[in-house]
Structure 1
Amino acid sequence: MKLRTLALLGLAFISTAAQAQVNALPPTRHILVYGEAQARAVPDRFKIALQFEAIDVDPAAARRRVETRLQQVLAQLKSAGVADNEIVATSMQVDTRRRHDDRLNEQVFVGTGVRRTLSARFDRKETLEQFLGTLKTSNELSISSVATELSSEAELQRQLRQKSIESSREKAEVIAKAYGARLGGVYSVSDVAPQFQYGVREGSWPAQYAWDTQGYSDGFGRLERIQVTGSRIGANQAPSFQAGYVDFQDKIYTVFLLED
């Protein structure tokens, strides 16, 4: 009896969820559009992640090697002008290390592993390159990653959201006018792609309104441009790596009601 009750409750829940999905669209005339905004920026911040690791049968010796190397790198970072609040070091991790012995066909003890990680953020690519030039990697010091960031990302994302909202309304107005209708109120707004029974899926609609640093015309007037500042690579420079570009995107999905 209990199993039957649970089954019925499960079916009721599925039915309710499916009905809610269908009812995400209004029963009256409407138009469903999405607005999209894009931007390409030159990164102006650079983050490096380092890993310090030593293995020894003497745990204290492994710990000393890790701490000594960590302090050396911290001194190099400070000499490079990296502020203390831009440096983050994890606490020490200690575990037992073993390896597989093919002759014995078993795991044999190697020693105790001591590991710490450190990340630092640079505000100039040239400063990071200078630091890399002084860094000596080894089995006990490795570079985990070098990532690019944009200091004004939060503001850029805010502008993209505003542009994607404007894009959705402009697109809806053009389509409604072509069919002899006018836009009414907004029924629903979401930044998550809808999935309805009639087959609308993320990415299946053509991107008509793009907004990037080069500017883009959609046929109904040129959209505004974003000016993003950053450290660009000069013609006479020979950097050890290219900073490249960072692409940002925002989408908003809106259901507008239609009026005659």
Structure 2
Amino acid sequence: MKNLVQLLALAGLCLATTVGAQMPPPQPPTIAVSGHGEVTALPDLARLSLAADALDGEVKRAEAEVNRVVRRYLEVLGKSGIEARDISTTSISLQPEYTWDETARQQKLVGYRARRDILVTVRDLDRLGDAILGATEAGVNHVSPPALESSQAETLGREALARAARDAQARAQALATALGVKLGSARVVREAGQAMPPPQPYKVMAMRAEAAMDSGNQQMGLNTGEIHIAADVSVEFDLIAR
């Protein structure tokens, strides 16, 4: 009987030891905050998205008109100093267009619309206005607002991210101080992503009456301004009792 009691006591001790070993240590309290960082820079390049399209009853005539406009625009870009490596005109589409004939109660073929998309990278922003005005003069009939960028975007993005992390730490420290506790190490860090606001729309106006002005930027009243690169993070910090 005595041996049985000792055996049961030993088994209970082993079980308690096993359960205790499996239980994780208590976690310290935490606090979750977000941080925001932003940097500004002067853009040093622009990307233009343009397109030329034409509608005609004959496929070949529609294609020929679009190709004529694109060739003319390429000549303008070449004279403006835009290199061939910065121009893409490979996107081509052709599709029929219809209108609804109410009398016949059916669709009626209007013609065929040919379209060529043009992508241009302008590395000298002093030539941006010339590239846009040259498009309208060549007959390009779709011009989107230029996307202004910086060739140092990756470096600027990392700086914005670092500022966001410092902002999160400062916020957490302020809360910890107000609560009367110490701020511990960062337990979890999540990057919410980086953002660059889209370029603001503007009116494309070829002011040929002011031909005496040399710069296309001046003719358009085009000012590239600054670009803003922002980053956001969320961080969870440990809190330590004083």
Whether these two folds match at TM > 0.5 is: yes
For residues 173 and 47 of structure 2, what CA distance do their matches in structure 1 show? 44
- Find 1:248's aligned residue among 217, 226, 229: 229
2:145 is paired with a residue of what secondary structure?
Answer: strand
Q: CA deviation at 1:115?
A: 0.9
Structure 1 residue 43 and structure 2 residue 43: aligned? yes
Structure 1 residue 97 and structure 2 residue 97: aligned? yes
For residues 82 and 145 of structure 1, what CA distance do their matches in structure 2 show? 18
For residues 147 and 162 of structure 1, what CA distance do their matches in structure 2 show? 25
The one-letter code sitting in structure 2 at the alignment partner of 1:60 is K
The one-letter code sitting in structure 1 at the alignment partner of 2:141 is L
Q: Give the % identical residues.
A: 22
Q: CA deviation at 1:91?
A: 2.7
TM-score, with normalisation over the residues of structure 1? 0.65
Q: Residue by residue, what CA displacement relative to the aligned partner does 1:40-99 show, whole Å, maximum 9, x if unpaired? A: 333222222221112222211211221121111112112211122221223321111112
Q: Which has the higher helix share?
A: 2
Q: Which residue of 2 aligns with 1:168?
A: 168
Counterparts of residues 57-68 of structure 1 (less than 5 Å): 57-68=57-68
Q: CA deviation at 1:120?
A: 0.5
Counterparts of residues 185-224 of structure 1 (less than 5 Å): 185-192=185-192
Structure 1 residue 184 and structure 2 residue 165: aligned? no
Runs of 4+ in 1 over 6 A off after TM superposition: none
For residues 153 and 140 of structure 1, what CA distance do their matches in structure 2 show? 30
For residues 100 and 164 of structure 2, what CA distance do their matches in structure 1 show? 56
Q: CA deviation at 1:148?
A: 1.7
2:63 is paired with a residue of what secondary structure?
Answer: helix
Q: Which one has a bigger Cα radius of gyration?
A: 2
Which consecutive residues of structure 1, in runs of 5 or more, have no partner in the other structure? 1-25, 194-236
Which consecutive residues of structure 2, in runs of 5 or more, have no partner in the other structure? 1-25, 194-217
Q: Residue by residue, what CA displacement relative to the aligned partner does 1:132-168 show, whole Å, maximum 9, x if unpaired? A: 3434458763323322222211110111111211222
Distance 1:121 1:139, change over 3 A: closer
1:91 is paired with a residue of what secondary structure?
Answer: strand
User: Could you say what the CA RMSD is over the residues aligned between the two structures, in angstroms?
Assistant: 2.6
Q: CA deviation at 1:37?
A: 1.0
2:68 is paired with a residue of what secondary structure?
Answer: helix
Q: Which residue of 2 aligns with 1:157?
A: 157
Structure 1 residue 115 and structure 2 residue 96: aligned? no
For residues 104 and 137 of structure 2, what CA distance do their matches in structure 1 show? 33
For residues 158 and 30 of structure 2, what CA distance do their matches in structure 1 show? 28
Counterparts of residues 13-24 of structure 1 (less than 5 Å): none
